[in-house]
Amino acid sequence: MTNRASGILLHPTSLPGKYGIGSLGEEAYHFIDWLAGSGQKIWQILPLGPTDFSHSPYQCYSAFAGNSDLIDLDELVKIGLIDHEIKPPSKAFPPESVDYFHVRKFREPYLQKAFIRFREVGGFGWDDYLRFWQENSWWLEAWSLFYACRKNLKGKDWSYWEESLVRHRQDSLHLHSRIYREDIEYQRFLQFIFLKQWFSLKRYANRRDIKIFGDIPLYVSFDSADVWANQEIFMLDKSRKPVMVGGVPPDYFSETGQLWGNPLFDWKKLQHRNYDWWIARLHFNLNLFDLVRIDHFRGFESFWAIPFGEKTAVKGEWMKANGDGILRLLQSQIGHLPIIAEDLGTITPEVQHLRKKYHLPGMKVLQFAFASDAANEHLPHNYDLDFAAYTGTHDNDTTSNWLTKLKGEERENLRHYFGATGIDHWKMIRAVLGSVAQMTIIPLQDVLGLDASARMNTPGTIENNWRWRLSDTIDLKESGEKLKALTALYNR
């Protein structure tokens, strides 16, 4: 983006709705209307993939498939795939959080009914379905079979399946494709509906001059269709277990670092294949979104490799990557790269050089700005144009709660910087909106001044993350008017 702009960070699961979770339906369209009416130009979301037991958008079973939890059930009624009105369960869903277990238990019978109806009316022969299959079979075939095998074969992950299937041998793939045809067709149907609804929503956003800002995690989950179908490009041993896994060393968020456990890429193999998997992934996401963030961009230059089996991320070593090769090839294909680099944490001159070489904006987070002196890179007066500035991210506490917990020198630095003691979330928002950073993104929780109960994720923990949900849109009107005034004031 070349002009000053601002936007809101909100994952679709956090939208309000009748069925316990946000979706790509009516409430998403209303949210886009609110963004436009509030003077915003960007809607940033988290990854859209099908999540594992942790419900983290950063731990998905596929880097390409969409999360069927987001499919709008009411739209399936409108197009005749469900033949009656959907009634919420007798026991209401919690209004301010997602109960994933009960949400999925409620939704699954409706999705199954829609699938059966779709097949009965010949949907698999529709022109738009055949076009979808033609355009997506290169990833959909592996994903749908992985989904079916994972559902039907007992084991902790794909590495426990029978040897011929683990090794991805064609005769075994064909056999299991026949055996699990029903489940495979069901998953293809879900992906068809998901993408149909997604692109309808994106077109609406673009018509209202809202750009959709997506997110690409650097790593993928070990238990995923991506690793199963592309074992060659990952650091796996002979038994198909990871040799080393990803994470970061001790940092602001954790004294023992963050142990993500994702398998690491074999960069020599990636280069040998001319980065085909990564290039396909980037093209796919740049089709889904108007611009994307590469999460943990630091790993494109070098990455923290932790021996498999370690309990923390303390014991690891830095190893070299070659993201330069990926970005150079992508740039030769599309020209300007609409990519933002998540360059938080321990960033070396080499990482900064890589980011600037391809003119990728980096990130600044105001909550990180007061732990040191006036030279702190996250203080607004130190920003450059080529940054996206945030009050906080999905990994931070809400700004309102963060302000209540600030102590000691950090609190004094904050007061000294603003020249006041009564500092609230709006003063923090003004600070990033008024900066020279070309883009500012505010989590919706910060616009609403919400407390810790609205925090999206606490790094290093598994319980109670990714659940927050906006209960209704009543509070958005007043906040939107104030946000619109500030956005206009600072020419965004």
pLDDT at residue number 155: 76
Q: Is 226 exposed, middle or buried (0-12, 13-18, 19+ CB in 10 A)?
A: buried
DSSP, collapsed to helix, strand or coil, labels residue 169 as: coil
244-248 and 258-263 strand pairing = antiparallel
Instruction: Quote the CA–CA distance of 319 and 478 in Å, as a whole number.
Output: 49
Encode 72-92 in three state secondary structure: CHHHHHHCCCCCCCCCCCCCC
| Cα-based angle 8, 14, 19 (whole degrees, multiple of 5) | 145
CA distances from residue 275 to 286, 298, 404 in whole angstroms, order as listed: 16, 18, 46
Size of the chain in residues: 492
In this structure, what token pair is assigned to residue 119? 């097949």
Q: Which residues of the chain have pLDDT under 70?
A: 1-2, 252-253
Active site includes 108? no
* DSSP at 48: -
Instruction: Quote the CA–CA distance of 241 and 229 in Å, as a whole number.
Output: 14
Report residue 10 CA to chain centroid gap.
10
Alpha helix stretches (DSSP H) within 53-180 = 73-78, 100-120, 127-152, 163-166, 170-179
How many C-beta atoms lie closer than 10 Å to residue 305's C-beta?
Answer: 18
342, 343, 397, 446: which one is catalytic?
Answer: 342
pLDDT at residue number 2: 61
Domains of the chain by range and CATH? 5-489 (3.20.20.80)
Single-letter code of the amino acid located at 452: A
| Cα-based angle 250, 253, 257 (whole degrees, multiple of 5) | 25
Instruction: Quote the CA–CA distance of 413 and 378 in Å, as a whole number.
Output: 13
Q: Which of 226, 218, 222 is nearest to 237 (CA)?
A: 222
Active site includes 295? yes
In this structure, what token pair is assigned to residue 178? 């026949």
Q: Which long-range contacts (CB under 8 A, 24 or more apart) does 337-341 make?
A: 338/1, 338/286, 338/290, 338/291, 338/292, 339/291, 339/292, 339/293, 339/294, 340/213, 340/291, 340/292, 340/293, 340/294, 340/388, 340/439, 341/293, 341/294, 341/297, 341/300
Tokens 């370690």 sit on residue: 310
Q: Which of 144, 200, 201 is nearest to 173 (CA)?
A: 144
What is the Cβ-side half-sphere exposure of residue 35, based on CA atoms within 13 angstroms?
30
295, 301, 343, 446: which one is catalytic?
Answer: 295
332 Cβ contact partners less than 8 Å away, ≥ 6 residues apart: none
Strands (E), 181-315: 211-217, 244-248, 258-263, 291-295, 302-307
69, 72, 395, 446: which one is catalytic?
Answer: 395
Active site includes 342? yes
pLDDT at residue number 461: 84
Q: 431-462 burial by CB neighbour count: b if 16+ within 10 A, else e?
A: bbbbbebbbbbbbbbbbbbbeeebbbbbbbee
Name the strand (E) or helix (H) holding 349: helix 349-357
Single-letter code of the amino acid located at 172: S
What is the Cβ-side half-sphere exposure of residue 46, based on CA atoms within 13 angstroms?
24
Q: CB of 105 within 8 A of CB of 99? A: no
pLDDT at residue number 163: 95
| Phi, psi of 108, rounded to the nearest 5 degrees | -55, -45
pLDDT in tens, 74-117: 999 999 999 988 988 888 899 999 999 999 999 999 999 999 99
CA distances from residue 391 to 115, 347, 363, 482 in whole angstroms, order as listed: 43, 20, 11, 16
Instruction: Quote the CA–CA distance of 141 and 63 in Å, as a whole number.
Output: 13
Single-letter code of the amino acid located at 196: K
